[in-house]
Amino acid sequence: MDTNTTTLAATGLLVYYFAPCHEKQVSTSTETDIFSPVIPTKKDIDIRLPRNIVPDLYELWLIPFIWEGNFTFHGEIKILVNVTNDTNNVTLHAVDIKINESFTSIREYSSNDKSNNKTTVIGITEQKNDADRQFHVIKTSKLKKGKQYIIHLKFIGYLNDDLHGFYRSSYTVDNQTRWIATTQFEPTDARRAFPCFDEPALKAKFQINIARPQNMTSISNMPKKGKTTPLPDLDTYVWDHYERSVPMSTYLVAFIVFDFDVKKSKDGDFRIWARPDAIAQTEYSLSIGPKMLKFYEDYFKIKYPLPKMDIAALPDFEAGAMENWGLMMFREKALLYQKEEDGITDNDSKQLIALVLAHELSHQWFGNLVTASWWTDLWLNEGFASYMEYIGTNAVEPKWRVLEQYVVHELQSSFTLDALESSHPISIEVDYPDEINEIFDAITYVKGSAVIRMMDHFLTTDVFKKGLTNYLNEKAYQSAESNDLWYALTKQAHKDKILDPNITVKKIMDTWTLQTGFPVVTVLRNYSNGSIILTQERFLLDNNATRITSDKWEPLWWIPITYTTEKQLNFNNTQPVKWMKAERSITLNDLDVKPSQWILFNVQETGYYRVNYDTANWKLIIKQLNNITNFKNISVINRAQLVDDALNLARAGKLDYDIAFNITSYLGHETEYLPWKATFRALTYLNNMLIKSRGYDKFRLHVLKLLDNAYKQVGFVDKPEDSQMTVFNRINILNWACYLDHEHCVMKAVQYFKYWRNTPNPDINNP
């Protein structure tokens, strides 16, 4: 991300930052030892729960003392479990909570004896904590296969200020602190709030009961049922009881106790909560949220599974946004929006809100209804949602052209990271909580979304959507692995004759998810017989890294090949005409393209790869781009691709810089946002390399010459009728023009600054 365009940060990367658990927080807790974090020591041990016992139903009772000064919470839980194999112990997760072992009980459950007076009490011989695994182990007499048992526990926890587990947050009104008790459980922090089987595949139903002060409110995943009931011996508190949930993973459980205000949709089923003085800023989110939810119902052909949707804007929230089923949590800046009085909108903030909201809502199906069996497949959940956020936002804000923005905000930014030797595969084995947290990164989110977008195009959207619907219906309320999705998509692709019967989605996608990096496809034309040789190799920015790995085994990918020519000008067909089937090179024959005509590969940059050409074809493309009247014959996305590919190929030593700069020379008549955004990202590297050299002034003047026409076109003044792309382009152009000492830009910037500094309530568009 270039340092000169920080006012318009790449939206896709911001969405990554507004995603669950992308960064670790340093604990500031000064509490007693029983509440201090337990950091697992990595050993050669199995940290996965045994499968002899699986949960069926949790009945949870929690009392958070958020006004009493000690910030503890008292809890009681009954877990109905199914025994799948005879066993002599119950192993579940618990960390940072103190279990009252003298109270613990286990008894056999019989649905025929509702009073349970005659059920067998199971003897407990020992209880112990396994800190390395974050386990609480209960040794028992034999629990029999096929039987059900109820585990009954009482415990005390602490409302920490670490922003994970069941934690406390606050805000201030008239110098008075208002407290909030809230949750963030993904990936492995439900165990900090109550003893549980805290793995995503171990889904169960939840019956939640939350005690709260009478002057406050509580919400949870499901709607409230019945009336509140009093809390014995604590007359300032009452119990809120919630309907039984659908089967869901522990990391999706959520509840809040607060004194927020609420705004509701017309039918009352979609509600947004915020501080009283911020509730008016929820208007935009409330206007698009229900529309997005309805769009996803139509897209997936599956009705939203829960009876309501709550969203809370929290002042302290590490994850940025979290898709808890039926109760999503957001940082305030990711949900609250206030339109300026002059009618000018903060386009960047507004788009960020829409994208993050669309991301989390798509998870209600992909992630919540069907959940990854283990965190190794986190990329599938998050990559999918990071792609769907653009689909969902485009549905409610089509004028923004976010599907085009995706290429420069997500795809090309992912290339920058993935072209480093330090990159890692999308799908990566993880076990420990600290390892799981580490994979909430840009490769998981952004590259994950890019390869899913590629799959959408090579399967065709119709097949892609049908396959998704089949997958979601087949695995509803269960957990799944990547292979389950690949199977559903393959079955649909074969049915609709989109893929050859011998080709599977798994065979294709494994090369993209299990290998590090991405390829560059080199195009070498034979201008005498019309044939073309395509060769693939891993693209690395560091030439030394390329040489170091050249003698080793190199990865190969299944690459969908799309192309168009000067004669065809077909930029709409993104279905592959040929595959590179994990082979080093292939030859294309009988292409209808004359030696004097250019050919362009990777139409609309739907494939996750770069393209290099022989010198003659580059020159033909340059000639087309420099034609002021016809340069738009090449689509705007592919113009952005050509600039980004050329400058990065040159940086990697795979293309002469004179060709790369000749590609950029056309920018003197380019006014569209996408090519300029791609240019500025790539030029940042050159700027940093040249800034202390004698030749820097030539570079500076060259860039100023290129952007002069665009500078004159965008101007300094935002207007209400400006398109999203125009506003974003203006920000980038002005940032770079002033940074490079464009005389008029600097003069206007100083003029605006003086006016802003000296004028109360200035109208910045009319100094």
Give residue 464's pLDDT: 98
Give residue 3's pLDDT: 34
If we measure between CA atoms, which residue out of 243, 203, 244, 206 comes closest to residue 475? 203
For tokens 């020379």, the residue is 665
What confidence tier does 755 reach under pLDDT thresholds 50, 70, 90?
A: confident
If we measure between CA atoms, which residue out of 626, 621, 627, 668 comes closest to residue 641? 621
> What residue ranges in 430-589 does DSSP mark as E strands?
478-480, 519-525, 532-538, 558-561, 563-565, 578-581, 585-588
Enumerate long-range contacts of 590-594, CB under 8 Å, 24 or more apart.
Answer: 590/530, 591/530, 591/531, 591/532, 591/565, 592/565, 592/567, 592/568, 593/530, 593/565, 593/566, 593/567, 594/567
Give residue 286's pLDDT: 98
Q: Tell me the two tokens of residue 99.
A: 């279990």
More confident residue, 283 or 319: 283
C-beta separation of 221 from 248 below 8 A? yes
For tokens 């587990």, the residue is 165
Local structure of residue 248 (DSSP, 8 states): B
pLDDT tops 90 at residue 11: no
Give residue 761's pLDDT: 67
More confident residue, 607 or 31: 607
Give residue 580's pLDDT: 98
DSSP, collapsed to helix, strand or coil, labels residue 149 as: strand
One-letter amino acid identity for 75? G
Local structure of residue 718 (DSSP, 8 states): -
For tokens 């008016």, the residue is 280
Local structure of residue 318 (DSSP, 8 states): T
What confidence tier does 756 reach under pLDDT thresholds 50, 70, 90?
A: confident
What's the rounded mean pLDDT across residues 179-197? 97
DSSP, collapsed to helix, strand or coil, labels residue 538 as: strand
Local structure of residue 410 (DSSP, 8 states): I
C-beta separation of 279 from 258 below 8 A? no
C-beta separation of 679 from 664 below 8 A? yes
Give residue 763's pLDDT: 61
Residue 151 CA to residue 122 CA, distance in Å, equals 10
pLDDT tops 60 at residue 220: yes
What's the rounded mean pLDDT across residues 215-223? 97
Q: Cβ-count burial of 111 within 10 angstroms (0-12 exposed, 13-18 middle, 19+ buried)?
A: exposed
Q: Tell me the two tokens of residue 138.
A: 């209960």
Percent of the chain exceeding pLDDT 90 equals 82
Give residue 5's pLDDT: 34
If we measure between CA atoms, which residue out of 81, 136, 77 comes closest to residue 107? 81
Residue 767 CA to residue 344 CA, distance in Å, equals 15
Omega before 187 cis (within 30°)? Answer: yes
If we measure between CA atoms, which residue out of 197, 221, 190, 195 comes closest to residue 208? 221
Residue 424 CA to residue 294 CA, distance in Å, equals 36
Residue 66 CA to residue 174 CA, distance in Å, equals 19
Distances in Å between the Cα of 193 and the Cα atoms of 37, 47, 94, 626, 686 are 13, 19, 8, 63, 50
The string of pLDDT tens digits covering residues 550-576 is 446 789 999 999 999 999 999 999 999
Give residue 553's pLDDT: 72
Question: What's CA 137's distance to the chain center, in Å?
Answer: 35
Residue 715 CA to residue 125 CA, distance in Å, equals 78
pLDDT tops 50 at residue 274: yes
DSSP, collapsed to helix, strand or coil, labels residue 366 as: strand
Residue 701 CA to residue 439 CA, distance in Å, equals 42
Alpha helices in 326-447 (DSSP H): 347-362, 378-396, 402-406, 412-418, 433-438, 442
Give residue 33's pLDDT: 35
The mean-pLDDT minimum among 169-178, 327-336, 502-511 falls in 169-178
Residue 407 CA to residue 459 CA, distance in Å, equals 19
Residue 261 CA to residue 274 CA, distance in Å, equals 6
C-beta separation of 373 from 479 below 8 A? yes
What confidence tier does 320 reach under pLDDT thresholds 50, 70, 90?
A: confident
DSSP, collapsed to helix, strand or coil, labels residue 347 as: helix
Alpha helices in 423-481 (DSSP H): 433-438, 442, 448-459, 461-474
What's the rounded mean pLDDT across residues 117-127? 86
For the packed helices 636-651 and 615-625, what is the interaxial angle rounded to 10 degrees?
140
Q: How many CB atoms lie within 10 A of CB 412?
A: 27
Tell me the β-bridge partners of 77. Answer: 60, 153
Give residue 39's pLDDT: 41
C-beta separation of 618 from 527 below 8 A? no
Residue 730 CA to residue 709 CA, distance in Å, equals 12
More confident residue, 154 or 115: 154
What's the rounded mean pLDDT across residues 739-747? 96
If we measure between CA atoms, which residue out of 160, 59, 143, 72 comes closest to residue 108? 143
One-letter amino acid identity for 444? T
Q: Assign residue 62 a region: left if phi > 0, alpha if psi is -120 to 50, beta otherwise?
A: beta
Distances in Å between the Cα of 166 and the Cα atoms of 74, 95, 244 are 12, 12, 20
Percent of the chain exceeding pLDDT 70 equals 90
DSSP, collapsed to helix, strand or coil, labels residue 493 as: helix
Residues annotated as catalytic are: 360
Residues with Cβ < 8 Å from 764, sequence gap 6 or more? 752, 755, 756
Tell me the β-bridge partners of 169. Answer: 180
Mean pLDDT of the chain: 91
- Is the dihedral angle over the CA atoms 616, 622, 624, 627 positive or is it negative? negative
The mean-pLDDT minimum among 79-83, 293-297, 575-579, 720-724 falls in 720-724
